[in-house]
Structure 1
Amino acid sequence: MTLDWKIFATVFAAVFIAELGDKTQLATMLFAADKEVNKWLVFAAASAALIVASGIGVLAGTLLSHYIDEKVMGYVAGLGFMLIGAWVLWRTVSG
């Protein structure tokens, strides 16, 4: 197995951008703001949590790919993101 830098860069950029400013980063920032807490421990715990969550995503994607076509999974994921975006927009406008 060779390292495909294009895939690595694509996945890294997508996940990095998706994680910036989200509730995970904000929660980590709040834990790190506590003066009594070891910052390296917060970093290690947050990193481990993201690794485990990413592992679950890879496992789920691998298992689903045996039953669902990759293109269909892309459409479903895209539709899911659009529905979440529409829901957030609707709640912002209506509330």
Structure 2
Amino acid sequence: MQQMLAIFITVFLAELGDKTQLATLLFATDRQQHPVLIFFAAGGALVASTAVAVVLGTAGAHYLSAIPLKLLAGIGFVAIGLWSIYAHFAGA
């Protein structure tokens, strides 16, 4: 139960304010769409994308067990950060 709560909190906080939530907010401003329809469509999309992530993560862990995936993810985030800093100072 503690693991489920940790996963829920982590994903919930990661989703706050991201482009998916902002897109859903914009759909909700359309008076021609019923809010319940928007809720179920957005919820279904999140469930489907999460299912894909779980399947790919499970397969990745099975086939890439020798590679420290957390290390690769960390290196990827650092690389994106450095690229963003470079782009800022390069005027891009």
Short-chain TM bin: 0.7 to 0.9
Structure 1 distance, partners of 2:16, 2:3, is: 20
Which of the residues 14, 20, 25 maps onto 2:21?
A: 25
Q: Partner letter of residue 71 of structure 2?
A: Y
Percent identity among equivalent residues? 41
Long gaps (5+) in structure 1: none
Distance 1:20 1:91, change over 3 A: farther
Which of the residues 37, 50, 56 maps onto 1:41?
A: 37
Number of aligned positions between the proteins: 91
Long gaps (5+) in structure 2: none
Structure 2 distance, partners of 1:33, 1:93, is: 37
Which of the residues 1, 10, 14 maps onto 2:10?
A: 14
Deviations 1:37-58 (A, max 9, x none): 1101111011001101100010
Q: Map 1:1-95 to 2 at 5 A.
A: 5-69=1-65, 72-95=68-91
Q: Partner letter of residue 73 of structure 1?
A: L
TM value normalised by structure 1: 0.83
